[in-house]
Chains A and B, each alone.
Chain A
Amino acid sequence: MSDISHTVTAYDDELRFLSDRIAEMGGHAERMVDRAVTALIKGDHGLSRTIIADDAILDRWEREVVDKAILVIAKRQPMAKDLREIVGTMRIASDLERIGDLGKNIAKRTVAVSEVKQPLRLYRGVEALAELALLQLKEVLDIFANRKVEDITVLRDRDEDIDAKYTSLFRELLTYMMEDPRNISACTHLLFCAKNIERIGDHVTNIAETIHYMVTGLELKGERPKDDQHNAVVVAAK
Protein backbone atom coordinates (compact mmCIF):
# COMPACT_ATOMS: atom_id res chain seq x y z
CA MET A 1 0.00 0.00 0.00
CA SER A 2 1.06 3.54 -0.61
CA ASP A 3 1.88 5.77 2.30
CA ILE A 4 -0.88 8.23 1.24
CA SER A 5 -4.39 6.99 1.72
CA HIS A 6 -7.16 7.36 -0.84
CA THR A 7 -9.38 10.40 -0.76
CA VAL A 8 -12.28 7.98 -0.41
CA THR A 9 -11.47 6.12 2.78
CA ALA A 10 -13.93 3.32 2.09
CA TYR A 11 -11.77 2.41 -0.90
CA ASP A 12 -8.82 1.86 1.43
CA ASP A 13 -10.98 -0.31 3.64
CA GLU A 14 -11.98 -2.45 0.68
CA LEU A 15 -8.38 -2.92 -0.44
CA ARG A 16 -7.36 -3.71 3.13
CA PHE A 17 -10.11 -6.28 3.34
CA LEU A 18 -8.76 -8.00 0.24
CA SER A 19 -5.16 -8.16 1.43
CA ASP A 20 -6.24 -9.24 4.92
CA ARG A 21 -8.29 -12.01 3.42
CA ILE A 22 -5.30 -13.16 1.34
CA ALA A 23 -3.16 -13.28 4.50
CA GLU A 24 -5.85 -15.35 6.21
CA MET A 25 -6.16 -17.65 3.23
CA GLY A 26 -2.40 -18.07 3.15
CA GLY A 27 -2.28 -18.97 6.82
CA HIS A 28 -5.10 -21.42 6.35
CA ALA A 29 -3.54 -23.08 3.32
CA GLU A 30 -0.21 -23.32 5.07
CA ARG A 31 -1.82 -24.98 8.09
CA MET A 32 -3.77 -27.40 5.85
CA VAL A 33 -0.67 -28.58 4.02
CA ASP A 34 1.31 -28.86 7.23
CA ARG A 35 -1.37 -30.97 8.92
CA ALA A 36 -2.01 -33.04 5.80
CA VAL A 37 1.62 -34.09 5.72
CA THR A 38 1.49 -34.86 9.45
CA ALA A 39 -1.65 -36.94 8.91
CA LEU A 40 0.02 -38.75 6.06
CA ILE A 41 3.08 -39.61 8.04
CA LYS A 42 1.24 -40.59 11.18
CA GLY A 43 -1.60 -42.27 9.32
CA ASP A 44 -4.03 -40.12 11.31
CA HIS A 45 -7.40 -40.66 9.59
CA GLY A 46 -9.27 -38.34 11.94
CA LEU A 47 -6.95 -35.45 11.18
CA SER A 48 -7.18 -36.08 7.47
CA ARG A 49 -10.98 -35.86 7.62
CA THR A 50 -10.79 -32.48 9.40
CA ILE A 51 -8.45 -31.22 6.72
CA ILE A 52 -10.75 -32.36 3.93
CA ALA A 53 -13.58 -30.49 5.61
CA ASP A 54 -11.37 -27.41 6.09
CA ASP A 55 -10.87 -27.00 2.38
CA ALA A 56 -14.43 -25.73 2.04
CA ILE A 57 -13.48 -22.60 4.02
CA LEU A 58 -10.67 -21.83 1.61
CA ASP A 59 -13.01 -22.26 -1.35
CA ARG A 60 -15.52 -19.94 0.23
CA TRP A 61 -12.88 -17.29 0.95
CA GLU A 62 -11.57 -17.45 -2.58
CA ARG A 63 -15.05 -16.82 -3.95
CA GLU A 64 -15.41 -13.99 -1.50
CA VAL A 65 -12.16 -12.37 -2.64
CA VAL A 66 -13.18 -12.62 -6.30
CA ASP A 67 -16.64 -11.19 -5.61
CA LYS A 68 -15.26 -8.35 -3.57
CA ALA A 69 -12.55 -7.60 -6.13
CA ILE A 70 -15.10 -7.44 -8.94
CA LEU A 71 -17.24 -5.15 -6.86
CA VAL A 72 -14.30 -2.82 -6.17
CA ILE A 73 -13.42 -2.74 -9.87
CA ALA A 74 -16.99 -1.87 -10.75
CA LYS A 75 -17.31 0.76 -8.04
CA ARG A 76 -13.92 2.44 -7.97
CA GLN A 77 -12.54 1.91 -11.45
CA PRO A 78 -9.09 1.29 -9.99
CA MET A 79 -6.02 2.47 -11.83
CA ALA A 80 -2.35 1.54 -11.90
CA LYS A 81 -1.13 0.11 -8.59
CA ASP A 82 -4.63 -0.39 -7.21
CA LEU A 83 -5.73 -2.22 -10.32
CA ARG A 84 -2.65 -4.46 -10.20
CA GLU A 85 -3.24 -5.02 -6.51
CA ILE A 86 -6.80 -6.14 -7.06
CA VAL A 87 -6.09 -8.35 -10.04
CA GLY A 88 -3.07 -9.79 -8.24
CA THR A 89 -5.18 -10.49 -5.20
CA MET A 90 -7.56 -12.52 -7.34
CA ARG A 91 -4.72 -14.52 -8.81
CA ILE A 92 -3.08 -15.13 -5.44
CA ALA A 93 -6.44 -16.21 -4.01
CA SER A 94 -6.78 -18.69 -6.83
CA ASP A 95 -3.23 -20.00 -6.24
CA LEU A 96 -3.89 -20.34 -2.52
CA GLU A 97 -7.12 -22.17 -3.20
CA ARG A 98 -5.20 -24.58 -5.43
CA ILE A 99 -2.64 -25.06 -2.66
CA GLY A 100 -5.51 -25.90 -0.34
CA ASP A 101 -6.84 -28.41 -2.88
CA LEU A 102 -3.43 -30.04 -3.11
CA GLY A 103 -3.29 -30.24 0.70
CA LYS A 104 -6.72 -31.82 0.70
CA ASN A 105 -5.57 -34.32 -1.91
CA ILE A 106 -2.62 -35.31 0.29
CA ALA A 107 -5.00 -35.77 3.21
CA LYS A 108 -7.26 -37.96 1.09
CA ARG A 109 -4.39 -40.27 0.26
CA THR A 110 -3.65 -40.87 3.98
CA VAL A 111 -5.99 -43.87 4.06
CA ALA A 112 -4.52 -45.57 1.01
CA VAL A 113 -0.95 -44.94 2.00
CA SER A 114 -1.36 -46.12 5.58
CA GLU A 115 -2.78 -49.51 4.56
CA VAL A 116 0.71 -50.92 4.20
CA LYS A 117 3.41 -49.70 6.50
CA GLN A 118 6.13 -48.09 4.45
CA PRO A 119 9.73 -47.57 5.46
CA LEU A 120 10.17 -44.41 7.41
CA ARG A 121 12.82 -43.35 4.93
CA LEU A 122 10.18 -42.70 2.29
CA TYR A 123 8.09 -40.60 4.65
CA ARG A 124 11.19 -38.63 5.62
CA GLY A 125 11.69 -37.72 1.96
CA VAL A 126 8.10 -36.47 1.64
CA GLU A 127 8.31 -34.66 4.95
CA ALA A 128 11.54 -32.88 3.98
CA LEU A 129 9.99 -31.89 0.64
CA ALA A 130 6.92 -30.62 2.46
CA GLU A 131 9.07 -28.63 4.89
CA LEU A 132 10.82 -26.92 2.03
CA ALA A 133 7.52 -26.10 0.29
CA LEU A 134 5.95 -24.82 3.52
CA LEU A 135 8.96 -22.62 4.19
CA GLN A 136 8.55 -21.17 0.72
CA LEU A 137 4.84 -20.61 1.31
CA LYS A 138 5.46 -18.91 4.63
CA GLU A 139 8.05 -16.65 3.09
CA VAL A 140 5.91 -15.67 0.16
CA LEU A 141 3.15 -14.74 2.59
CA ASP A 142 5.65 -12.61 4.49
CA ILE A 143 6.62 -10.92 1.26
CA PHE A 144 2.98 -10.32 0.51
CA ALA A 145 2.62 -8.67 3.90
CA ASN A 146 5.76 -6.51 3.79
CA ARG A 147 6.11 -6.07 0.02
CA LYS A 148 9.85 -6.71 0.06
CA VAL A 149 10.10 -7.52 -3.62
CA GLU A 150 13.87 -7.80 -3.47
CA ASP A 151 13.44 -11.11 -1.58
CA ILE A 152 11.41 -12.59 -4.40
CA THR A 153 14.34 -13.59 -6.61
CA VAL A 154 15.93 -15.53 -3.77
CA LEU A 155 12.63 -17.21 -3.06
CA ARG A 156 12.03 -18.14 -6.63
CA ASP A 157 15.52 -19.58 -6.98
CA ARG A 158 14.88 -21.78 -3.97
CA ASP A 159 12.10 -23.51 -5.89
CA GLU A 160 14.96 -25.29 -7.62
CA ASP A 161 15.72 -27.11 -4.36
CA ILE A 162 12.17 -28.41 -4.21
CA ASP A 163 12.33 -29.56 -7.78
CA ALA A 164 15.67 -31.27 -7.20
CA LYS A 165 14.40 -32.94 -4.06
CA TYR A 166 11.29 -34.08 -5.88
CA THR A 167 13.30 -35.57 -8.71
CA SER A 168 15.41 -37.56 -6.27
CA LEU A 169 12.32 -38.69 -4.32
CA PHE A 170 10.72 -39.75 -7.60
CA ARG A 171 13.74 -41.83 -8.43
CA GLU A 172 13.76 -43.37 -4.96
CA LEU A 173 10.07 -44.27 -5.03
CA LEU A 174 10.45 -45.78 -8.47
CA THR A 175 13.32 -47.91 -7.32
CA TYR A 176 11.33 -48.99 -4.31
CA MET A 177 8.37 -50.04 -6.37
CA MET A 178 10.61 -52.09 -8.63
CA GLU A 179 12.06 -53.89 -5.65
CA ASP A 180 8.69 -55.09 -4.50
CA PRO A 181 5.54 -54.75 -6.63
CA ARG A 182 3.38 -54.87 -3.44
CA ASN A 183 4.67 -51.39 -2.65
CA ILE A 184 3.35 -50.00 -5.93
CA SER A 185 -0.07 -48.94 -4.66
CA ALA A 186 1.22 -47.07 -1.58
CA CYS A 187 4.23 -45.70 -3.38
CA THR A 188 2.11 -44.37 -6.23
CA HIS A 189 0.05 -42.50 -3.67
CA LEU A 190 3.20 -41.19 -2.06
CA LEU A 191 4.45 -40.23 -5.49
CA PHE A 192 1.27 -38.22 -6.02
CA CYS A 193 1.70 -36.61 -2.61
CA ALA A 194 5.23 -35.64 -3.53
CA LYS A 195 3.99 -34.31 -6.83
CA ASN A 196 1.33 -32.28 -4.99
CA ILE A 197 3.97 -30.77 -2.77
CA GLU A 198 6.10 -29.95 -5.77
CA ARG A 199 3.02 -28.28 -7.33
CA ILE A 200 2.57 -26.25 -4.14
CA GLY A 201 6.09 -24.97 -4.71
CA ASP A 202 5.08 -23.94 -8.23
CA HIS A 203 2.01 -22.11 -6.92
CA VAL A 204 4.24 -20.31 -4.41
CA THR A 205 6.46 -19.22 -7.27
CA ASN A 206 3.33 -18.03 -9.10
CA ILE A 207 2.31 -16.02 -6.06
CA ALA A 208 5.80 -14.55 -5.79
CA GLU A 209 5.67 -13.46 -9.41
CA THR A 210 2.22 -12.01 -8.93
CA ILE A 211 3.42 -10.01 -5.93
CA HIS A 212 6.32 -8.73 -7.97
CA TYR A 213 3.96 -7.56 -10.69
CA MET A 214 1.58 -6.07 -8.16
CA VAL A 215 4.28 -3.98 -6.55
CA THR A 216 6.45 -3.04 -9.49
CA GLY A 217 4.14 -3.41 -12.46
CA LEU A 218 6.85 -5.41 -14.21
CA GLU A 219 7.32 -9.10 -14.93
CA LEU A 220 9.97 -10.75 -12.81
CA LYS A 221 13.09 -10.79 -14.91
CA GLY A 222 14.90 -13.96 -15.91
CA GLU A 223 13.75 -17.49 -16.60
CA ARG A 224 11.91 -19.39 -14.00
CA PRO A 225 14.30 -22.04 -12.70
CA LYS A 226 13.30 -25.55 -13.71
CA ASP A 227 15.24 -28.19 -11.99
CA ASP A 228 12.38 -30.64 -12.09
CA GLN A 229 13.88 -33.35 -14.23
CA HIS A 230 11.68 -36.22 -13.17
CA ASN A 231 10.15 -36.37 -16.64
CA ALA A 232 13.58 -37.56 -17.82
CA VAL A 233 14.08 -40.10 -15.06
CA VAL A 234 14.30 -43.67 -16.24
CA VAL A 235 15.13 -46.47 -13.90
CA ALA A 236 16.20 -49.54 -15.73
CA ALA A 237 14.56 -52.78 -14.78
CA LYS A 238 16.87 -55.31 -13.23
Chain B
Amino acid sequence: MNDMSTAEIAATTAPAKITARNVQVYYGATHAIKNVSVDILDKAVTAFIGPSGCGKSTFLRCINRMNDTISVCRVEGKIEIEGEDIYDRRVDPVQLRAKVGMVFQKPNPFPKSIYDNVAYGPKIHGLTRNKAELDEVVETSLKKAALWNEVKDRLASPGTGLSGGQQQRLCIARAIATHPEVLLMDEPCSALDPIATAQVEELIDELRSQFSVVIVTHSMQQAARVSQRTAMFHLGELVEIDATETIFTNPSHKKTQDYITGRYG
Protein backbone atom coordinates (compact mmCIF):
# COMPACT_ATOMS: atom_id res chain seq x y z
CA MET B 1 0.00 0.00 0.00
CA ASN B 2 2.81 2.26 0.91
CA ASP B 3 4.43 2.06 -2.47
CA MET B 4 1.56 3.88 -4.13
CA SER B 5 3.22 6.93 -5.56
CA THR B 6 2.33 10.37 -4.41
CA ALA B 7 1.01 11.33 -7.82
CA GLU B 8 -1.20 8.29 -7.94
CA ILE B 9 -2.75 9.11 -4.60
CA ALA B 10 -3.20 12.73 -5.48
CA ALA B 11 -4.85 11.84 -8.73
CA THR B 12 -7.07 9.15 -7.32
CA THR B 13 -10.76 9.64 -7.68
CA ALA B 14 -11.54 7.28 -4.82
CA PRO B 15 -14.37 8.52 -2.58
CA ALA B 16 -13.15 10.90 0.09
CA LYS B 17 -12.86 9.81 3.72
CA ILE B 18 -14.01 13.21 4.90
CA THR B 19 -16.17 15.58 2.92
CA ALA B 20 -16.72 19.06 4.21
CA ARG B 21 -19.35 21.19 2.54
CA ASN B 22 -19.90 24.92 3.08
CA VAL B 23 -18.41 24.90 6.55
CA GLN B 24 -18.73 28.19 8.41
CA VAL B 25 -17.22 28.77 11.82
CA TYR B 26 -17.97 31.77 13.99
CA TYR B 27 -16.15 32.79 17.15
CA GLY B 28 -18.77 35.08 18.62
CA ALA B 29 -19.05 37.78 15.99
CA THR B 30 -15.88 36.77 14.15
CA HIS B 31 -16.40 34.75 11.01
CA ALA B 32 -13.37 32.46 11.30
CA ILE B 33 -14.05 29.94 8.53
CA LYS B 34 -15.88 31.09 5.42
CA ASN B 35 -17.67 28.57 3.32
CA VAL B 36 -14.99 25.90 3.15
CA SER B 37 -15.69 22.80 1.11
CA VAL B 38 -12.98 20.21 0.94
CA ASP B 39 -12.49 16.49 0.39
CA ILE B 40 -9.95 14.57 2.43
CA LEU B 41 -8.85 11.24 1.02
CA ASP B 42 -8.35 8.01 2.87
CA LYS B 43 -4.88 6.57 3.38
CA ALA B 44 -3.20 9.79 2.36
CA VAL B 45 -1.72 12.80 4.09
CA THR B 46 -3.46 16.10 3.53
CA ALA B 47 -1.59 19.21 4.60
CA PHE B 48 -3.27 22.49 5.56
CA ILE B 49 -1.07 25.50 5.01
CA GLY B 50 -1.60 29.22 5.24
CA PRO B 51 -0.50 32.23 7.21
CA SER B 52 -1.19 32.45 10.96
CA GLY B 53 -4.82 33.09 11.77
CA CYS B 54 -6.03 31.82 8.40
CA GLY B 55 -8.29 29.28 10.06
CA LYS B 56 -6.46 26.09 9.21
CA SER B 57 -6.20 24.97 12.83
CA THR B 58 -9.78 26.01 13.49
CA PHE B 59 -10.94 23.94 10.56
CA LEU B 60 -8.83 21.01 11.73
CA ARG B 61 -10.43 21.19 15.15
CA CYS B 62 -13.86 21.08 13.52
CA ILE B 63 -13.11 17.61 12.21
CA ASN B 64 -13.10 16.06 15.67
CA ARG B 65 -15.32 18.73 17.20
CA MET B 66 -12.65 20.00 19.56
CA ASN B 67 -14.16 23.42 18.92
CA ASP B 68 -17.17 22.32 20.94
CA THR B 69 -15.13 23.02 24.06
CA ILE B 70 -15.09 26.70 23.16
CA SER B 71 -18.47 28.02 24.13
CA VAL B 72 -18.51 31.00 21.76
CA CYS B 73 -17.63 28.83 18.78
CA ARG B 74 -20.42 28.00 16.32
CA VAL B 75 -20.06 25.65 13.35
CA GLU B 76 -22.39 25.58 10.36
CA GLY B 77 -22.37 23.45 7.25
CA LYS B 78 -21.68 19.80 6.94
CA ILE B 79 -18.66 17.62 7.68
CA GLU B 80 -19.15 13.98 6.84
CA ILE B 81 -16.92 11.06 7.66
CA GLU B 82 -17.81 8.24 5.31
CA GLY B 83 -21.19 9.81 4.73
CA GLU B 84 -22.06 10.40 8.37
CA ASP B 85 -22.49 14.00 9.41
CA ILE B 86 -20.36 14.55 12.51
CA TYR B 87 -22.43 17.57 13.48
CA ASP B 88 -25.59 15.52 13.49
CA ARG B 89 -27.65 15.90 16.64
CA ARG B 90 -27.19 12.21 17.46
CA VAL B 91 -23.40 12.30 17.34
CA ASP B 92 -21.62 12.34 20.68
CA PRO B 93 -18.33 14.19 20.17
CA VAL B 94 -16.65 11.91 22.71
CA GLN B 95 -17.40 8.90 20.53
CA LEU B 96 -16.33 10.81 17.44
CA ARG B 97 -12.97 11.64 18.96
CA ALA B 98 -12.21 7.96 19.44
CA LYS B 99 -12.57 7.68 15.68
CA VAL B 100 -10.72 10.90 14.86
CA GLY B 101 -7.52 11.08 16.87
CA MET B 102 -5.60 14.27 17.41
CA VAL B 103 -1.98 15.23 18.01
CA PHE B 104 -1.28 18.74 19.23
CA GLN B 105 1.27 21.40 18.59
CA LYS B 106 3.00 21.11 21.93
CA PRO B 107 3.74 17.57 23.07
CA ASN B 108 1.25 17.10 25.89
CA PRO B 109 1.69 13.70 27.49
CA PHE B 110 -0.34 13.13 30.64
CA PRO B 111 1.73 13.41 33.80
CA LYS B 112 1.50 9.68 34.14
CA SER B 113 3.70 6.77 33.15
CA ILE B 114 4.49 6.04 29.51
CA TYR B 115 2.36 2.93 29.74
CA ASP B 116 -0.61 4.77 31.23
CA ASN B 117 -0.37 7.45 28.57
CA VAL B 118 -0.86 4.94 25.79
CA ALA B 119 -3.24 2.69 27.72
CA TYR B 120 -5.57 5.52 28.68
CA GLY B 121 -7.53 5.68 25.41
CA PRO B 122 -8.11 1.92 25.07
CA LYS B 123 -9.08 1.80 28.75
CA ILE B 124 -11.75 4.46 28.62
CA HIS B 125 -13.15 3.15 25.36
CA GLY B 126 -13.16 -0.41 26.66
CA LEU B 127 -11.16 -1.70 23.71
CA THR B 128 -9.40 -4.40 25.67
CA ARG B 129 -10.76 -7.14 27.85
CA ASN B 130 -7.77 -7.84 30.07
CA LYS B 131 -4.30 -6.71 31.00
CA ALA B 132 -2.61 -8.90 28.40
CA GLU B 133 -4.60 -7.33 25.59
CA LEU B 134 -3.89 -3.87 26.94
CA ASP B 135 -0.17 -4.65 27.08
CA GLU B 136 -0.44 -5.78 23.48
CA VAL B 137 -2.15 -2.57 22.37
CA VAL B 138 0.41 -0.44 24.21
CA GLU B 139 3.25 -2.32 22.62
CA THR B 140 1.91 -2.19 19.06
CA SER B 141 1.01 1.48 19.39
CA LEU B 142 4.46 2.34 20.66
CA LYS B 143 5.97 0.27 17.89
CA LYS B 144 3.88 2.02 15.26
CA ALA B 145 5.00 5.31 16.73
CA ALA B 146 8.62 4.14 16.43
CA LEU B 147 9.13 4.65 20.14
CA TRP B 148 9.04 1.10 21.46
CA ASN B 149 12.75 0.44 21.32
CA GLU B 150 13.54 3.62 23.17
CA VAL B 151 11.05 3.17 26.02
CA LYS B 152 10.40 -0.56 26.36
CA ASP B 153 12.61 -0.78 29.45
CA ARG B 154 11.02 2.13 31.24
CA LEU B 155 7.32 1.97 30.56
CA ALA B 156 6.63 2.85 34.19
CA SER B 157 8.61 6.06 34.13
CA PRO B 158 6.78 9.32 33.54
CA GLY B 159 5.98 10.34 29.98
CA THR B 160 6.91 13.92 30.79
CA GLY B 161 10.50 12.80 31.36
CA LEU B 162 11.05 11.99 27.69
CA SER B 163 12.68 14.34 25.20
CA GLY B 164 10.48 16.63 23.11
CA GLY B 165 10.53 14.40 20.07
CA GLN B 166 9.89 11.29 22.12
CA GLN B 167 7.02 13.04 23.89
CA GLN B 168 5.44 13.92 20.57
CA ARG B 169 5.80 10.35 19.35
CA LEU B 170 4.29 9.22 22.65
CA CYS B 171 1.34 11.50 21.91
CA ILE B 172 1.05 9.94 18.47
CA ALA B 173 1.18 6.48 20.05
CA ARG B 174 -1.52 7.58 22.46
CA ALA B 175 -3.65 8.82 19.58
CA ILE B 176 -3.31 5.68 17.49
CA ALA B 177 -3.87 3.35 20.45
CA THR B 178 -7.62 3.95 20.14
CA HIS B 179 -7.50 2.72 16.53
CA PRO B 180 -8.74 5.93 14.96
CA GLU B 181 -9.61 6.18 11.29
CA VAL B 182 -8.47 9.73 10.91
CA LEU B 183 -5.47 11.33 12.57
CA LEU B 184 -5.42 15.10 12.93
CA MET B 185 -2.09 16.76 13.61
CA ASP B 186 -1.93 20.40 14.58
CA GLU B 187 1.61 21.56 13.82
CA PRO B 188 3.06 18.43 15.39
CA CYS B 189 6.67 19.42 14.79
CA SER B 190 6.68 23.09 15.61
CA ALA B 191 8.23 22.48 19.03
CA LEU B 192 10.75 19.90 17.86
CA ASP B 193 14.32 20.01 16.67
CA PRO B 194 15.13 18.92 13.09
CA ILE B 195 16.05 15.36 14.03
CA ALA B 196 12.89 14.83 16.05
CA THR B 197 10.98 16.47 13.21
CA ALA B 198 12.47 14.01 10.75
CA GLN B 199 11.48 11.12 12.99
CA VAL B 200 7.92 12.36 13.25
CA GLU B 201 7.75 12.93 9.49
CA GLU B 202 9.02 9.44 8.85
CA LEU B 203 6.32 8.22 11.19
CA ILE B 204 3.60 10.20 9.39
CA ASP B 205 4.72 8.68 6.14
CA GLU B 206 4.29 5.22 7.61
CA LEU B 207 0.98 6.03 9.25
CA ARG B 208 -0.63 7.03 6.00
CA SER B 209 -0.91 3.41 4.96
CA GLN B 210 -3.46 2.94 7.74
CA PHE B 211 -5.04 6.28 8.41
CA SER B 212 -6.29 9.33 6.74
CA VAL B 213 -3.88 11.94 8.10
CA VAL B 214 -4.55 15.67 8.16
CA ILE B 215 -1.65 17.85 9.20
CA VAL B 216 -1.54 21.57 9.81
CA THR B 217 1.92 22.96 9.32
CA HIS B 218 3.69 26.25 9.02
CA SER B 219 6.62 24.70 7.24
CA MET B 220 6.13 24.63 3.48
CA GLN B 221 8.93 22.13 3.18
CA GLN B 222 7.24 19.86 5.67
CA ALA B 223 3.96 20.02 3.81
CA ALA B 224 5.82 19.30 0.59
CA ARG B 225 7.67 16.38 2.17
CA VAL B 226 4.91 14.56 3.99
CA SER B 227 1.67 15.26 2.22
CA GLN B 228 0.07 14.06 -0.97
CA ARG B 229 -2.51 16.80 -1.07
CA THR B 230 -2.21 20.34 0.17
CA ALA B 231 -4.91 22.83 1.01
CA MET B 232 -4.11 26.50 1.21
CA PHE B 233 -6.15 28.68 3.59
CA HIS B 234 -6.23 32.43 3.70
CA LEU B 235 -8.36 34.67 5.92
CA GLY B 236 -10.73 31.84 6.73
CA GLU B 237 -11.22 30.83 3.13
CA LEU B 238 -9.94 27.81 1.28
CA VAL B 239 -7.83 29.27 -1.51
CA GLU B 240 -7.19 25.97 -3.23
CA ILE B 241 -6.60 22.31 -2.64
CA ASP B 242 -4.58 20.25 -5.04
CA ALA B 243 -1.91 17.60 -5.32
CA THR B 244 1.03 18.68 -3.21
CA GLU B 245 3.32 18.54 -6.24
CA THR B 246 1.18 21.02 -8.07
CA ILE B 247 0.81 23.35 -5.11
CA PHE B 248 4.53 23.59 -4.55
CA THR B 249 5.68 23.79 -8.15
CA ASN B 250 2.88 25.51 -9.92
CA PRO B 251 -0.06 26.61 -7.76
CA SER B 252 -3.00 28.02 -9.62
CA HIS B 253 -3.71 30.90 -7.23
CA LYS B 254 -1.56 33.94 -6.84
CA LYS B 255 -2.18 33.98 -3.06
CA THR B 256 -0.79 30.48 -2.74
CA GLN B 257 2.13 31.39 -4.98
CA ASP B 258 2.93 34.48 -2.93
CA TYR B 259 2.58 32.63 0.36
CA ILE B 260 4.74 29.63 -0.48
CA THR B 261 7.43 31.71 -2.14
CA GLY B 262 7.70 34.04 0.84
CA ARG B 263 6.00 37.07 -0.60
CA TYR B 264 3.14 37.17 1.89
CA GLY B 265 2.20 40.51 3.44
Q: Which residues of A contact B (CB under 8 A)?
A: 2, 4-8, 11, 76-84, 216-218
Known A77-B220, A77-B221; judge A6-B261 contact (CB<8 A).
yes
Our pick among B249, B258, B263 for the contact of A217 (Cβ within 8 Å) is B249
Question: Is the CB–CB distance between B262 and A76 below 8 Å?
Answer: yes
- Residues 92-119 (chain B) with a chain A CB within 8 angstroms: none
Complex CA–CA separation, A11 to B264 (angstroms) = 14
Residues of A within 8 A of B221 (CB): 77
Question: Is the CB–CB distance between A7 and B262 below 8 Å?
Answer: yes
- Most A CB contacts (10 A, CB to CB) among B221, B257, B263 go to B263
Question: Is the CB–CB distance between B257 and A81 below 8 Å?
Answer: yes
Q: For the complex, is B260 an interface residue (Cβ under 8 Å from A)?
A: yes
Q: A-B contact count, CB below 8 Å?
A: 49
Known A80-B248, A83-B249; judge A4-B258 contact (CB<8 A).
yes
Majority SS of interface residues in chain B? helix
Closest 8 CB pairs of A and B: A217-B250, A79-B260, A4-B263, A82-B261, A6-B262, A79-B261, A6-B263, A80-B257
Q: For the complex, is B251 an interface residue (Cβ under 8 Å from A)?
A: yes
A77 nearest in chain B by CB position: B221
Complex CA–CA separation, A2 to B258 (angstroms) = 8
Other A-B contacts than A2-B257, A83-B248, 15 sampled, CB-CB below 8 A, are A2-B261, A4-B258, A5-B263, A6-B263, A7-B262, A7-B263, A7-B264, A7-B265, A76-B262, A79-B220, A79-B262, A81-B257, A81-B261, A84-B250, A217-B249
Residues of A within 8 A of B220 (CB): 77, 79
**What band does the interface of chain B fall in when counting residues whose beta carbon is under 8 Å from A?**
10 to 19
B252 to chain A, nearest CB (A): 9
Q: Which residues of B contact A (CB under 8 A)?
A: 220-221, 224, 247-251, 254, 256-258, 260-265
Known A2-B257, A77-B220; judge A84-B249 contact (CB<8 A).
yes
Complex CA–CA separation, A81 to B248 (angstroms) = 9
Question: Is the CB–CB distance between B262 and A11 below 8 Å?
Answer: yes
Residues of A within 8 A of B249 (CB): 80, 83-84, 217
A11 nearest in chain B by CB position: B262
A201 to chain B, nearest CB (A): 28
Complex CA–CA separation, A217 to B253 (angstroms) = 13
B7 to chain A, nearest CB (A): 16
A-B contact pairs, 18 of them (CB 8 A): A2-B257, A2-B258, A2-B261, A4-B258, A5-B263, A8-B262, A76-B262, A77-B220, A78-B261, A79-B262, A80-B247, A80-B256, A80-B257, A81-B250, A83-B249, A84-B249, A84-B250, A216-B250
Residues of A within 8 A of B258 (CB): 2, 4
Complex CA–CA separation, A216 to B257 (angstroms) = 12
A217 nearest in chain B by CB position: B250
Complex CA–CA separation, A238 to B257 (angstroms) = 65
Question: Is the CB–CB distance between B251 and A80 below 8 Å?
Answer: yes
Residues of B within 8 A of A77 (CB): 220-221
Residues of A within 8 A of B261 (CB): 2, 6, 78-82
Residues of B within 8 A of A217 (CB): 249-250
- Most A CB contacts (10 A, CB to CB) among B254, B256, B262 go to B262
Residues of B within 8 A of A84 (CB): 249-250
Question: Is the CB–CB distance between A80 and B263 below 8 Å?
Answer: no
Complex CA–CA separation, A8 to B264 (angstroms) = 10
Complex CA–CA separation, A217 to B250 (angstroms) = 5
Residues of B within 8 A of A216 (CB): 250
B219 to chain A, nearest CB (A): 9
B246 nearest in chain A by CB position: A217
Question: Is the CB–CB distance between A79 and B248 below 8 Å?
Answer: yes
Known A77-B221, A80-B257, A81-B257; judge A2-B263 contact (CB<8 A).
yes
